[in-house]
Amino acid sequence: MNVFDKLILRNGSIVPNRIAKAAMEENLADKDHAPSEALIRLYSAWAEGGAGLLITGNVMVDSRAMTGPGGVVLENSRHLDRFRRWAQAGRANGAQLWLQINHPGRQMPASLGQPTWAPSAVPLQLGKLSRHFSAPKAMTHDVIEDVIRRFARTAQLGEQAGFTGVEIHAAHGYLLSQFLSPLTNHRRDQWGGSLENRARLLIEIVKAIRAVVSPGFAVAVKLNSADFQRGGFSADDARQVVKLLNTLDVDLVELSGGSYEAPAMQGDARDGSTLAREAYFVEFARDIRAVAKMPVMVTGGIRRWPVAQAVVQSGVDMVGIGTALAIDPDLPRAWRAGKDSAPTLRPIDWTNKPLASLANMAAVKFQLRKLSRGKATNPKVSPLCALILQQASDACRARQYRRWIAQRSG
């Protein structure tokens, strides 16, 4: 098996090769929280780079529930023309293009000024950084049903705009991951308790999406291999959830791990259980592959062709690459040409892990902004400098967001 072999999904559609541009939150929406010209240019660069699948950063299903300022929202057809332009740019060279659709739950910045919902009223534990997130309210049944409808509507609109699929984000501590984890889901109704109940929201969302999109439209799920927190969502839980997804028309499962509290997706976990410097979750992926009836993709730290090749040859169907493609969007073409490219950022060895996680994300977003302007990236950027710039940008965009949401509700 080779990373440049095509992959046939469960729905019969074909991904040209087994390299995916994994989702990275771009925060490059325009003033109406639709795809901006900068975002479209960014995806044109990735389309030319040769990855077989491009997965967008977070696209929010509810304008009142954002993972951060400057995020794209798709909840109605008002700006569908701009989403069509985005889809055309990403698909220009034959790649599949999927919207990653998401709801933050309790992981919504307090600076956005919106009520925060979660399965249970369990606040984030981030030390001094906790003040940046409001304590959540436990979701009512009506709020849960509204979230299901919103995921389905966003997927339906995505297909209308020309995207070839969606990826439901049920990892990294966002809302669906919060429902899956016993640390954040203390409910005693049909949405909590047993793993089957904790997985119910994810299952119902998959069903609702499948009911409104065509059979050839891909529906994927991004799932934590584990929360990397004691008492949280475990590797065995992940296997059981995949078995539940086997019974549905799910075309691919992407495995990652961690949350804001334990950012294992960046190579660090609170309990010290991360696996390797690259391909952090590959051992979990091989384990899941043994029970999964759909293709399995692993994301986390991959930046070298020999590692990507080894992952695929081990039986994992696809490799997701994030940071390396933020630095060099032409990486797949370079690998195909036999070049030994391995893009990497400056290492961050700060003792405050949540703050280091924010700095890492800021350094990645620094590269994305460069690419979106048609400029060369700078992988040697100071993490502290990138973080300061990102915090200033976020503060400005948060003010813009509050004005925007006030105008919509006024």
Domain-by-domain residue ranges, the chain?
A: 7-343
Instruction: Quote the pLDDT of residue 226.
Output: 67
Please answer whether residues 195 and 240 qualify as being in contact, where contact means their C-beta atoms are separated by less than 8 angstroms. yes
The pLDDT assigned to 271 comes to 35
* Window from 36-50, 219-233, 273-287, 390-404 with minimum mean pLDDT: 273-287
Give the tokens for residue 187: 């409910």
Q: 39 pLDDT exceeds 60?
A: yes
> Mean per-residue pLDDT for 397-410?
90
**How confident is the model at residue 322, as a pLDDT?**
95
Tokens in use for 146? 């509204």
Question: 7-343 in CATH: which number?
Answer: 3.20.20.70
Average pLDDT over residues 309-319: 93
Percent of the chain with pLDDT over 90: 81
Position 267 scores a pLDDT of 46
Average pLDDT for 393-398: 96
Residue 354 has a pLDDT of 80
166, 202, 264, 289, 303 from 327: Cα distances, Å = 24, 33, 21, 30, 10
Tokens of residue 349, six digits? 């060895």
Distance CA 252, CA 8 (A): 10
The pLDDT tens digits for 181-240 are 999 999 999 999 999 999 999 999 999 999 999 999 999 999 988 666 677 888 899 999
Is 331's pLDDT higher than 70?
A: yes
- In this structure, how many other beta carbons lie within 10 angstroms of the beta carbon of residue 38? 17
3-state class percentages of the chain: helix first, strand second, coil last, to nearest 5? 40, 15, 45
Q: Are strands 117-118 and 137-138 parallel, antiparallel or unpaired?
A: parallel
| Cβ atoms of residues 332 and 353 within 8 Å | no
**In which residue are the tokens 């609702």 written?**
208
Average pLDDT over residues 370-396: 96
- pLDDT tens for 120-179 read 999 998 888 889 899 999 999 999 999 999 999 999 999 999 999 999 999 999 999 999
148: how many CB neighbours lie within 10 A of its CB?
16
Residues near 108 by beta carbon (within 8 Å), at least 6 away in sequence = 65, 66, 67, 114, 116, 133, 134
Mean per-residue pLDDT, 4-11:
97
pLDDT in the model for residue 262: 61
